[in-house]
Amino acid sequence: MSDNREILDLANRFESIATDGFEGRPYRPALAELATRVRERPGMAPRVAHALGIMIQLIGESDPEERFAAKTAILREAVGMLSDA
């Protein structure tokens, strides 16, 4: 798997977890577990965090009413977990 494809795949996994949280399902254990796995891979955490930042920006630009504010907050939480690496 190419690095870019893998980064997008990981970002999409975070987005899926954020969707669970947005819909009221428990998400923190899965978020923490995925962040831990990503941090264990050298150089991967900052790249995935960057991809999540772009995702957050795109969601924000397409959602001026902030209906998805909870989802982007969860994605920001994930970025924070990755930045703690």
Q: What is the pLDDT of residue 84?
A: 73
Q: What pTM value is reported for the model?
A: 0.92
Three-state DSSP class for residue 68: coil
Q: What is the pLDDT of residue 85?
A: 53
Question: 8-60: per-residue pLDDT in tens?
Answer: 999 999 999 999 999 999 999 999 999 999 999 999 999 999 999 999 999 99
Q: What is the pLDDT of residue 22?
A: 95
Look up the domain containing 25 and give its range.
3-83
Rg (CA), the chain: 12
Contact, 45 vs 7, CB < 8 A?
Answer: no
Query: How many structural domains does the chain have?
Result: 1
Q: Distance between CA 45 and CA 3 in Å, rounded? A: 12
